[in-house]
Amino acid sequence: MTWQRNDPALYEKEKAEVEAHFPDLHFVIENDLVYVRGSFAVMFEGKVLDRYSVELQLARNHPAGLPVVRETGGRIPRHIDRHILAADGTACVMLPDERWKLWPVGSPLMKYLTGALHSFFLAQTMVEEGQDWPFGQWAHGARGIFQFYRELLKTSDLRVMTAYLDYLAAKKVKGHWPCPCRNGKKLRDCHFDQITELREKISRKDAERSLAALKAAGTSAIDMNEAKPAAAISKS
Amino acid sequence: MTADEYLNDVLASQALGDDSDEVKALQKHRAEVEKLIRDTFKDTALIIRYAGSRAKGTMNKESYDLDIISYVSSGDNTAGETLEDIYDNHKQALAKKYYVEPKGSALRLKGCDPDNLGVDFHIDVVPGRFTDETNTDAYLYQSGSDKKRLKTNLDVHLDHVRDSGLIDAIRLAKLWKVRNGLPIRTFVLELAVIKLLEDKKKKSLSAQMEHFWTELRDNSASLTVEDPANPNGNDLSKCLDDNLKSQLAAAAKRTLEQIDSSGWEAVFGKTEKQEKAARVEILRRAASVATPSRPWLPEA
């Protein structure tokens, strides 16, 4: 059963909030999927800076899953450098592993629209104006995952990174397991709190996917310029 | 930014390069027009050339026309015996594809297909006949005028403007005319700029423009211009009558007051460069308070 039938009250709440804030966006149900379609306004200080024609296909398990976003006006080139997949025009708004920072599970759709999605289209407008990506961008594929975990874990050691991801993807972690920081200590005596906190933030599914991508890419995921310096893992 | 830097930015934003969409569209029309005329007058050795701002280098993006001359040789009657015949026959030839509106010596082309009905293509075709074998001076037919024949010389006109050393001032004056809705013929305005700035060529562009407007404000009543190709035969006084002079003086006074009170931007507005810089600044401000979110792509 899809989320809108499972929780009609949530559907009505999301719909009412979004359509009140974005009067040019409309909820539509087709083939048991919820779409949000229309003109997305990039706003600042009450003024519309730009507009994009969009379609958001909400996940069947919304709000647990991320929506699939498409810019339907054909304005943004379907090019990897613009973070749009050529095959189906899907916009890659964020790295799923980073979701807890941008749209934590359980947050209303409005938070996604006014946060990450707004920033994505604002950035697209700036790039169109010849500016750099205002918030930066992750490298494509495994290299982007590597960059993210390098910043998060403050290490560029791929073995440490994959060891962490192993623990994030595991059903359970036990205190007597060796710590992924590879200092020889048991987890409970080292980075247990950090692992526990990250397991609350990053879903097992996302960790599994990132682990698989990093393992498949191997050392090619490491951009040598990105890889240095290899800072020691702090106990945070 | 100095006044001259600003004025140069205004001119740059009004430039129409050869690879611009506007010029490409005009060139396409010109090719069609030339083919239409040549196909109609197969036995006539026509000289078809660009004239007007395209040939003079004084085109502005905001308002531009394409003037094309189509002259027959002296003594050649294949396109028509009289000047009026040549004019009318050109009109008929062009009417196969366009709605043609007589406009003095020119024929203005507009769309006549259902999908472009009445659309002004900004193209004037000027038929005429050279006065002799040198193919320099030409006679034009003047519709709607008491004097039906006008002697002119395209190269003299082109040289007069191109060699004036005042192309930038002319382009700004043309933009000023458009922005203020002044009903002065462009050719007459060009002659006025050249006359009033004849001894100011070494001055800065801003100084030239201020002098031009000061002269219009204070001395327009005595301003006269003459056709360099036909100073005695082409009386331009009707094109610069007292009513128009008053309008020019009032607009010049207003412009000088705007510069004095609000600066040059009050005259020509923000340039594309300035507008873009302002937009980028707003976008940056918006980004500074937005959620810092980095896009990603799953497949390398």
ipTM over 0.85: yes
CB spacing of B291 vs A119 below 8 angstroms? yes
Q: Rounded CA gap, B141 and A68, in Å?
A: 67
Cβ within 8 Å, pair B286-A129: no
The CA R_g of chain B, rounded to the nearest whole Å, is 23
CA distance B273 to chain A (A): 12
- Calculate what percentage of chain B has a pLDDT beyond 90: 73
Q: For B90-147, what is each residue's pLDDT tens digit?
A: 999 999 999 999 988 999 999 888 878 878 888 999 999 999 999 999 999 988 778 8
Instruction: Count the neighbouring beta carbons within 10 Å of the beta carbon of residue B172.
Output: 24
Chosen for mutation from B275, B284, B285, B294 (greatest number of chain A CBs closer than 10 Å) is B294
Asked if residue B205 lies in contact with residue B8, where contact means CB atoms within 8 angstroms, the answer is yes
Does the distance separating the beta carbons of B276 and A134 come in below 8 Å?
no
Nearest Cα residue in chain A from B276: A129
The H-or-E segment that residue A36 falls in is strand A33-44
Contacts of B75 (CB under 8 A, 6+ apart): none
Contact A42 B286 (CB under 8 A): yes
Q: Which of A122, A133, A142 has the CB atom closest to B290's CB atom? A: A122
Across the interface, of A102, A126, A144, the residue whose CB is closest to B291 is A102
Do the Cβ atoms of B294 and A136 come within 8 Å? yes
Nearest C-alpha neighbor of B252 from the set B191, B199, B193: B193
Q: Distance (Å, rounded) from C-alpha A109 to C-alpha B255? A: 53
pLDDT in tens, chain A (236 residues): 789 999 999 999 999 999 999 999 999 999 999 999 999 999 999 999 999 999 999 999 999 999 999 999 889 999 889 999 988 889 999 999 999 999 999 899 999 999 999 999 999 999 999 999 999 999 999 999 999 999 999 999 999 999 999 999 999 999 999 999 999 999 999 999 999 999 999 999 999 999 999 999 887 767 645 544 334 445 54
Give all strands (DSSP E) within B79-222, no chain letters: 99-103, 106-110, 120-130, 137-141, 149-153
Residue among A135, A136, A143 whose CB faces B300 most closely: A143
